Amino acid sequence: MNDILENLRKEYQSVPIPEELDLIVNRSIKKALNTRRAKRLKIKGMTAAAAILVFLIAINASTTVANAFASIPGVERIIKVLTLHEFTIKEVNYEADIKVPAITNMDNKQLQLGLNDKYLNENKALFEKFQAEIEKLKSQGLNDAHIGVDAGYEVKTDNETIFSIGRYISQTAASSTMEMQFDTIDKKNQILLTLPMLFKDEQYTKLISANIIAQMKEQMKGDDGKIYWIAGESADIPLEEAFSSIKKDQSFYINKDGQLVIVFNKYEVAPGYMGLIEFVIPTEAIQSDLVSNHYIK
């Protein structure tokens, strides 16, 4: 068994990395659409763990470093996300590390490919923009300028009901920015969840905003280092920067405990040193407007 796994691992690692991104995408999509073949693999003496590894080799034959497969012991978790491609630049003053995620093994192939296409296009555009900035700086003779971009992803929740992936972008120049976006999927019904879908009407924006403002005030009472820009709290805060309400499509995810988490990017509701900010919303604060407790417990 160990010899089989070792041979498969060597075969996987020896797969050549194609130079053209379009080739990577086309092959990956074709192979992703054919994932059911992996379930029909019948290899004498091979356990489910080895079969999953073969499945990964098939999917990733045209990708860079594939980094997501089920834990070998017991294979309790099927693949959810892997790195489709990685854009990198490493020079003295310019550095980029952009990892493109790809969701795999969904029954809803239209949603799967739609999300993966979005991830690819966003990251490709980010890389091309970064390259253009480098060329501009070089053409202006600004050889001492330092800029960088780091983009990647992390799985926030993966249970029987919910799969939530967060995608971050951190950029540095004269100052730094940090942004994060989330996609939350109903694993059983294979649909992408939005914030309005979880509530009966638009009352949720008021309920959530009121709770967030209360949390902000409570945090500032107990920590002088925490500052939030709350509307009406200070004349020094420009009205356009002060927080009074979340957006209808505010960035969010549902955590492993079934709680709604509202996320604000750097500088969105607080000074930059506060970084990315998350507020866990107590379910009782929004219970009256929830459609059900299927997702939020």
Amino acid at 177: T
Are 191 and 277 spatial neighbours (Cβ–Cβ below 8 Å)? no
Instruction: Return d(Cα 222, Cα 218) in angstroms, integer.
Output: 7
Are 163 and 171 spatial neighbours (Cβ–Cβ below 8 Å)? no
User: Mean pLDDT throughout 192-202?
Assistant: 97
Q: Tell me, what's the pLDDT at 196?
A: 97
Q: Tell me, what's the pLDDT at 238?
A: 73
Q: Which of 159, 193, 227 lies at the terminal end of a domain, its last residue?
A: 193
Tell whether 154 and 213 lie within a shared domain: no
Q: Tell me, what's the pLDDT at 236?
A: 74
For the cut 60, the answer to whether the pLDDT of residue 117 exceeds it is yes
- Tell me whether residue 284 is in a domain: yes
And the tokens for 257? 């405990």
Q: Which of 24, 52, 79 lies at the terminal end of a domain, its last residue?
A: 79
Tell whether 168 and 249 lie within a shared domain: no
- Tell me whether residue 296 is in a domain: no
Q: Which is higher by pLDDT, 9 or 153?
A: 153
Instruction: Return d(Cα 77, Cα 57) in angstroms, integer.
Output: 17
Tell whether 126 and 178 lie within a shared domain: yes
**Overall domain count for the chain:** 3
The lowest-confidence range among 26-30, 42-46, 157-161, 277-281 is 42-46
* CATH at residue 210: 3.90.640.20
Q: The whole model's pTM is what?
A: 0.74
Residue spans of alpha helices (H) in 20-99: 21-32, 36-39, 48-59
* CATH at residue 139: 3.30.565.40
Task: State the chain's mean pLDDT as an integer.
Answer: 81
- Tell me whether residue 256 is in a domain: yes
Instruction: Show the domain range for 30.
Output: 1-79
Proportion of the chain above pLDDT 70, given as a percent: 73
- Tell me whether residue 8 is in a domain: yes
Instruction: Return d(Cα 127, Cα 215) in angstroms, integer.
Output: 37
Q: How confident is the model at residue 73 (pLDDT cuts 50, 70, 90)?
A: very low
Instruction: Return d(Cα 40, Cα 129) in angstroms, integer.
Output: 43
Tell whether 108 and 184 lie within a shared domain: yes
- Tell me whether residue 126 is in a domain: yes
Phi, psi of 56 (to 5 degrees): -65, -40
User: Mean pLDDT throughout 138-144?
Assistant: 88
Q: Tell me, what's the pLDDT at 2?
A: 45
Q: How far apart are the first and last CA of the chain?
A: 43
Report the side by side order of strands in the sheet with 252-254.
252-254, 260-264, 277-281
Dihedral-angle region of residue 202 (phi above 0 means left; psi in -120 to 50 means alpha; beta otherwise)? alpha
Q: Tell me, what's the pLDDT at 222?
A: 85
Q: 204-258, pLDDT tens digit by residue?
A: 999 999 999 999 999 999 899 999 999 988 767 777 779 999 999 999 999 999 9
For the cut 90, the answer to whether the pLDDT of residue 18 exceeds it is no
Q: Tell me, what's the pLDDT at 34?
A: 53
For the cut 70, the answer to whether the pLDDT of residue 105 exceeds it is yes
Q: Which of 193, 218, 243 lies at the terminal end of a domain, its last residue?
A: 193
User: Mean pLDDT throughout 126-145?
Assistant: 93
For the cut 60, the answer to whether the pLDDT of residue 110 exceeds it is yes
Dihedral-angle region of residue 16 (phi above 0 means left; psi in -120 to 50 means alpha; beta otherwise)? beta
Tell whether 89 and 179 lie within a shared domain: yes
